[in-house]
Chains A and B, each alone.
Chain A
Amino acid sequence: GAVVSQHPSWVICKSGTSVKIECRSLDFQATTMFWYRQFPKQSLMLMATSNEGSKATYEQGVEKDKFLINHASLTLSTLTVTSAHPEDSSFYICSASRPVYQETQYFGPGTRLLVL
C-alpha cells in the first residue's frame, strides 16, 4: 500500500506556457500532500503543503501566484507552473501522508520539467 503516482513523468515546454502536474494517492486517502523541487545534485526543497479543501501553505520564497496548487480531493493534488521560464526547469516531486501514519511521507516518482 501507500502508492503515489505523478503525471506526467516528464514534460518539455516553451517559455511562457503553463504546465500542470498531477499527484495522486492510489490506494489511500491523503490528508496532506507536499510539493518539492529538486535541482541536480541538490536535496529536496519543500515548496508548499497542501490540504484537501483549503489553501496551500507556501514556503518562504515560493511565489504562490506562479506555482498554483489545487487539492480538490483526498486523492488528488495538482501543481501548475504558470508562465514557465528556463530557471523553472527542475525535478518536481510530490508526497502524501496517510491520516493514521501522518509522520511518514510517501513520494511520487517525480516529474522532470524542461523549459526551453
Chain B
Amino acid sequence: GQNIDQPTEMTATEGAIVQINCTYQTSGFNGLFWYQQHAGEAPTFLSYNVLDGLEEKGRFSSFLSRSKGYSYLLLKELQMKDSASYLCAGEGPREAAGNKLTFGGGTRVLVKP
C-alpha cells in the first residue's frame, strides 16, 4: 500500500525557509508529487520526482529518496501568498485504468509577517 504521512501544520516567518517532510510505504510506488492548495481551490502542480535527488524550481525544491521512502518540499524566501496546504501524493501502481495518486493528509503552512 501507500500510506502517505506528513505533518498537519507548520508556521514560519516571511522570508524564512520551511521544509515539509513526507514519508510513505514504497510498495507499488512510481513517483512522488507535491501540490499546493489554497483554501477553497483546487490543487496546483508544484513538482514531480521519480529519481532520487533534489529537483530545484525557483523558490521551491523537492527531494526524493526512494530507498528510504522519504521526500521533502523546501520553500525558500517565504512570502505571505505561500500560506496554503501542501499535499504530498504518491503515484502508482500504474494500472490499465490510469496512474492513480494517493494523497497524504496535507500540511497547512501559515506564513506570518
Contacts and interface: CB of A to CB of B under 8 A. Distances in A.
A104 B40 CA distance: 21
Given A46-B103, A49-B97, A109-B41, 12 more contacts: A31-B98, A32-B99, A42-B106, A44-B87, A45-B103, A57-B98, A91-B40, A102-B99, A103-B30, A107-B44, A108-B42, A112-B40
B93 interface: no
Contacts of B35: 107
B43 interface: yes
B60 interface: no
Interface residues of A, number: 24
B97 A42 contact: no
A104 B48 contact: yes
Contacts of B95: 49, 57
B41 A49 contact: no
27 contacts: A32-B98, A34-B98, A42-B106, A43-B87, A43-B104, A43-B105, A44-B103, A45-B103, A46-B102, A49-B98, A49-B100, A51-B97, A57-B95, A57-B97, A57-B98, A97-B98, A97-B99, A103-B30, A103-B50, A103-B91, A104-B45, A104-B48, A107-B44, A110-B40, A110-B41, A110-B42, A112-B40
Contacts of B101: 34, 44, 46, 105
B42 to A, nearest CB: 4
B48 A103 contact: yes
A93 interface: yes
Interface string B47-70: 010100000000000000000000
B99 A103 contact: yes
Nearest to B6: A43
B60 to A, nearest CB: 16
